[in-house]
Amino acid sequence: MGIKRKIGGILYYTLAKHLPRSYSGFRFGQTLLRRACGKLMLRHCGKKVNIEYNAVFSPKVSLGDYSGIGVNAKIYGSCTIGDYVMMGEDCTVITRNHRYDRTDIPMMHQGFEEEKPVTIGNDVWIGDRVTILPGVQIGDGCVIAAGAVVTKSIPPYAIAAGVPAKVIRFRREVE
Please identify every residue annotated as catalytic: 98
Distances (CA, A) of 48 to 7, 12, 65: 21, 17, 6
CA dist 127 to 1, 99, 142, 147, Å? Answer: 32, 29, 11, 7
The candidate with the shortest Cα–Cα distance to 144, out of 97, 95, 86, is 86
Residue 164 preceded by cis peptide, ω within 30: yes
Cα-Cα-Cα-Cα torsion 59, 64, 70, 73, nearest 10 degrees, comes to -30
> Is 53 in contact with 19 (CB distance < 8 Å)?
yes
